[in-house]
Amino acid sequence: MELLYQFDELAIVLNGKTESGMLIGGTAELVDAGADYPGEFYVRSVLLDGGTLLHRDRTIDAFERELFKRIEAVICNDKSVIGRHDTLEWSDACSEAVAA
């Protein structure tokens, strides 16, 4: 299962605190984590609003790799606003898929 999750105003963590001076918008591709992790997902890729594609498995430069990790950390953190929202969207999508 896959879900495209649009986000805006995502703030990454720098030096242990949320950096609100750099807000990121884009679309994350959420993918089922597999049979060993029922109901869970991981971020396969992120397409930033400006057109830059960040991908988990692609060889990219150090900055892009770090940016992907930091965006993924916010998306997968169920304590962040964005993390709670995408977890709910993932759960709803899973429920709809099971019901279909």
Whether the pTM exceeds 0.95: the reply is: no
Q: Is 27 helix (H, G, I), strand (E, B) or coil?
A: strand
Check: CB of residue 56 under 8 Å from CB of residue 78: no
The alpha helices in the chain, defined as continuous H runs, are 62-75, 81-99
Each residue's pLDDT tens digit in the chain (100 positions)? Answer: 899 999 999 998 888 888 888 899 999 999 999 999 888 899 999 999 999 999 987 767 888 999 999 999 999 988 888 888 888 888 888 888 777 6
Residues 6+ apart with CB under 8 A from 56: 42, 43, 44, 45, 68, 72
* Per-domain boundaries in the chain: 2-99
